Homo-oligomer: A and B are copies of this chain.
Amino acid sequence: MNEFVIRPDPLDPRLTERVEGIDQTGQQIETRVTVERALTIFLNSQEIVTAMTINDYPEYLALGYLLNQHMLRSDDTVTGVDYDEELAVVVVRTKRKTNYEKKLKKKVQTSGCAQGTVFGDLMEALEGVTLPDAELRTSWLYRLTHQINTTPSLYLEAGAIHGCVLAQEDRPLVYMEDVGRHNAVDKIAGWMFKHGVPARDKIFYTTGRLTSEMIIKTVRMGIPILVSRSGFTAWGVELARRANLTLIGRARGKRFIALSGEHRIVFDQDLAYVEEESAKHRRKAAVHDD
């Protein structure tokens, strides 16, 4: 598993807390729960947002959040990212002068969390983006999901957390987890920006639902293929089709369904050699939610 550049560290003591309680027999037990920390993101002198996060990568989170909100442009020169652990503040500084106060007043709430908007605005967000040709071999897909599912993670350790993986062919590169799914995505976007990693040959994997926000973030990042072990929503499918995104959901064991961009899929895997998910993993997976 040396393919990962970043992978979860479930043993990092900062990411979980031990708590005491009782189980169904009334016995005292001790268990681990995922932490949430408030992190305030500034762009230059303006306070932009306070996110609740496990806070393992505050700098990638800040960069990715600002990119995905279109407050930071892909061609911006970032002159510094300063994280103050004590204040729980991260400041992104750019060469370009920025002023986003007005933008912040327009927030509305969507099913997939955070700032969203109505369908027309959603479509607008995708205008001008053309996703590249790319290929998804089913043999890659099965090796990739098997690796992700068997990698130790906070999710397997404490549950109640989202995971996202940036992959290339059958290799997972960056596996981020967070209490908010959008944070996990943003941390990957921040990592790609910081290291100048191209999107055109990548595959994005998420444990969460394929909502409109998830589609929009993936398309804006320029990644042509999105895979999830979870289900679809109608707007998510509609947006993916308009953006020509390959959208694969309910990917578990042998199974998956593609509802958009099927032309990128190459069926090179003999399904007789693909294992179903183990009962152990399936049971664990059921804890995954939200």
Contacts and interface: CB of A to CB of B under 8 A. Distances in A.
Instruction: Give the contact-size bracket for chain A.
Output: 35 or more
Interface centre among A230, A237, A287 (most CB of B within 10 A): A287
Interface stretch (A74-82, A92-100, A108-116): A108-116
A233 B160 contact: yes
Given A36-B235, A231-B159, A234-B17, A117 B50 contact: yes
A267 B230 CA distance: 35
Copy number of this protein in the oligomer? 2
A196 interface: no
Nearest to A210: B160
Contact of A26 (B21, B22, B112, B267): B267
Interface stretch (A129-137, A167-175, A253-261): A253-261
Interface in A231-290: 231-237, 250, 252, 254-260, 262, 265, 267, 271, 282-283, 285-290
A26 B50 CA distance: 44
Interface of A: 16-17, 19-26, 29, 31, 33-36, 38, 49-53, 104-105, 107-119, 138, 158-162, 178-183, 207-212, 229-237, 250, 252, 254-260, 262, 265, 267, 271, 282-283, 285-290
21 contacts: A22-B258, A25-B267, A29-B257, A31-B259, A33-B259, A49-B108, A50-B118, A52-B109, A52-B116, A109-B180, A111-B179, A111-B180, A112-B180, A113-B114, A114-B114, A207-B289, A229-B289, A252-B286, A282-B283, A285-B286, A286-B288
